[in-house]
Amino acid sequence: MRLRYAIGPLVGAGVGYLFYRFVGCSTGTCPLVSNPWITMGYGAVVGLLVVRPGPANTEDDRHRDSRSGEDQPLSASSPENGAQASRSRKQRELEGEQE
């Protein structure tokens, strides 16, 4: 895990240097890409942002009881139940027509 936090900025700095080398500003008037150290610094920051973990709120986490760790039933107002109810209503209508 900690290795990822070291590798991300190093790779980002390398990409920043390559950006300076191949895309950089030839006149020296561009503040971001006219200096390799600044470009590598920005690349390192972007590399760190890429490897950091994102938010842990997933759909499953919202319906899980935090104390017991067991799944809780979805509330009646959730979109999943509405879609399931309309699906079963449509199925009932189709079955009624076929009989």
Task: Flag whether 10 is in a domain.
Answer: yes
Task: Flag whether 3 is in a domain.
Answer: yes
Span 19-68, pLDDT tens digits? 999 988 878 788 888 888 999 999 999 999 999 887 766 555 555 545 55
Collect all residues with Cβ–Cβ distance below 8 Å to 64 and sequence separation of at least 6. Answer: 70, 71, 72
In the prediction, which pLDDT does 40 show? 94
pTM, entire model = 0.53
DSSP 67: T
Question: Confidence band (pLDDT; 50, 70, 90) for 2?
Answer: confident
Smallest CA-to-CA distance from 83 within 72, 74, 70, 71 is with: 74
Task: Flag whether 27 is in a domain.
Answer: yes
Task: Flag whether 87 is in a domain.
Answer: no
Task: Flag whether 90 is in a domain.
Answer: no
Q: Which domain holds residue 9?
A: 1-53
Cα 45 from Cα 31, distance rounded (Å): 17
Work out how many domains the chain is built from and give that number: 1
Task: Flag whether 14 is in a domain.
Answer: yes
